[in-house]
Amino acid sequence: MKEAIDDTVPVHTAAEGPAGKLPITSEVLRNAPSGEIFGMTQNAGMGWNPLQLNRPQYLILGTMGGILREDGSPLALGYHTGHWEIGVMMEEIAEELTANHGIPFAGYVSDPCDGRSQGTTGMFDSLPYRNDAAVVLRRLIRSLPTRKGVLGVATCDKGLPAMMLALAGMRHQLPGIIVPGGVTLPPVNGEDAGKVQSIGARFSNGELSLEDAADLGCRACATPGGGCQFLGTAATAQVIAEALGMSLPHSALSPSGQPVWKNIGRQSARALQHMEHSGIVMSDILTDRAIKNAMVLHAAFGGSTNLLLHLPAVAHAAGLKIPSVDDWNEVNRQVPRLVSVLPNGPVPHPTIRVFLAGGVPEVMLHLRRLGLIDESVLTVTGRTLGENLDWWETSQRRADMRRRLQEADGIDPDSVIMSPEEAKRQGMASTMTFPTGNLCPEGAVIKSAAIDPSVLDSEGVYRHTGRVKVFTAEKDAIRSIKNGKVQAGDILAIIGRGPSGTGMEETYQLTSALKHLPYGKYVTLITDARFSGVSTGACIGHMGPEALAGGPLGKLRDNDWVEVLIDTVKLEGSVNLVGESGEGGQPLSKEAGTELLNARTPHPGLAVDPGLPDDTRLWAALQAASGGTWQGCVYDTDRIIALLEAGRQALGETR
């Protein structure tokens, strides 16, 4: 081993220790747990002024990843831009807490990147990570018994939902605030981070040169921090956190690293201290009415279908009613989509423009006039939602932000966040439809707002009856797309990719390829897996029961006839097998298809992915025991224990 130059420096064996004395009393020594006293010793050892150790303590949790040098350049990369600048925000919060006579503590649970793991076995850990991280975050909160409140700084697809679950789980114990990590900016000339993920498929189909692919791929993330520029799962989760009242007004979708973003951190620190002084805890914020408000905002924004997994999980963590498919259906039928943003459009504005147009509170002003939100709910400001909106409507901040959008980009803010009347004039479809049928008797979901309007009929209905191409692995499907074996009119079925098969992988490399290939809008995709929040097109996911749990989707064969109907106006839909494979097969009826399914065995290639980690197999079993996908893929502890006990008894085992 090469000897380092400084190996000759003497090794110290003792040190003087911190100067000063702990601010303890005889009563503390007699009555306090030894851990609290030793905690003060640790705090002094880490360099905090001993005279200040009796100040109130607050915990800052973040999903920071990577190591930044002082000049902001990378010493070690993170997994994604979304957590790259989280540490900067945490510093702002810590300085503000210290200035206001608090003691900040900080802990970290980093998070993966769904974009980085698309099409890889890394996706098998994506959704399960959320539950694991929420458990660890809650353990970190409980492991600092002296904390008075918690600030959770997070940005992206799984880290932010995990943080929301962790804070929601504190219920009656603590105040908490979510500080959204913001968004990255789009390039002046180039493609957004959603479209750029299709450069491989476009190059393979002759739609893009190698030189252009390399150039576009380099510039898509134009600033180093923040979530992607589209309203995917990361951005939608920020919107939902604010809609729940867990974040400050107009904090979602702020531009990472900029002064307005840093100020949100400082304001959140002051708000947490106000909550603590006022005795406001998470159960005061998170109520069934707040959950309903979040569902309404999801519909008005046109948010990611992944929030069908995350918002129910937040409700479960908070001990609230879990919204059902019927609840989601009702909301989507009542609430107009008002936001023109990537990827749904009609104009593909990046999320920074939504922020400048007024973000969540601006959308809420429109919804308030329609009577669609509950203004009486309490928020982390210590005021009701109605009081927050009264402030926003006449605030200088609102005027400044909207003016800046006009000055910087020449964009009318009312063309980004539209009035209900203008949205209707623009023909903006409602966000989600929940089809059923003999291939998904438990239901499925499609972001109907993201179907290309040109493939809808005059009544706003998407109709596709065609031969199906069945794949039991996503990699085989993307290979077929790149090799030109998928054509207009095809229906692709990706089966066995739900929780039991892959951890319910995300299949964005397929949907992004189809969106940006000229024939893609004429192809339908059906699966028991899920989609990225930036997915568009006739893509139907979450089909239940999943194929590996005996779902009829797993009985499909190549060249079967499948009929897909999605009514984007009435928000009704169906996915049915209507005829069997073979040259002589013709479309028949739903009833005939049901008979075929009842007589069939599962597809011969249907199997758990051989690369599925044991950790994910365990997650799949636990969430299935807890109600599965439509319950948010949660861990219902009482239910799991009851099933384990029943299993022991059935096997004749004793404790």
The pair phi, psi for residue 85, each rounded to 5°, is -105, 15
Give Cβ neighbours of residue 101 (< 8 Å, ≥ 6 apart).
55, 56
Strand, coil or helix: 227: strand
Q: Beta strand pairing status for 524-527 and 491-494?
A: parallel
Residue 558's CB is within 10 A of a number of other CB atoms, namely: 12
Cβ atoms within 10 Å, residue 261: 24
Rounded CA separation 503/283 (Å) = 31
Q: How many Cβ atoms sit within 10 Å of the Cβ of residue 116?
A: 11
Helix (H) or strand (E) holding 270, with range, is helix 259-278
d(CA 311, CA 293): 11
Helix (H, G, I), strand (E, B) or coil at 426: coil
Q: Of the listed 247, 304, 532, 626, which one is catalytic?
A: 532
Residue 155, CB-side half-sphere exposure with 13 Å CA sphere: 34
Distance CA 93, CA 108 (A): 14
Long-range contacts of 328-332 (CB under 8 A, 24+ apart): 328/295, 328/432, 328/434, 329/434, 329/571, 331/292, 331/295, 331/296, 331/298, 331/299, 332/299, 332/430, 332/431, 332/432, 332/433, 332/571
- Which of helix, strand or coil describes residue 109? coil
Mind spelling out the 3-state secondary structure of 361-384? HHHHHHHHHCCCCCCCCECCCCCE
Long-range contacts of 72-79 (CB under 8 A, 24+ apart): 72/224, 78/110, 79/110, 79/111, 79/112, 79/113, 79/116
Give the residue ranges of DSSP H helices in 483-552. Answer: 499-502, 508-515
**Helix/strand/coil for 154:** strand
Cα–Cα distance for residue pair 311/291, rounded to 1 Å: 8
Element (H, E) at 355: helix 351-356
Confirm whether 532 is a catalytic residue: yes
**Number of other residues whose CB lies within 10 A of the CB of residue 417:** 27
- The enclosing H or E element of 465 equals strand 461-471
Q: Kindly list the catalytic residues.
A: 532
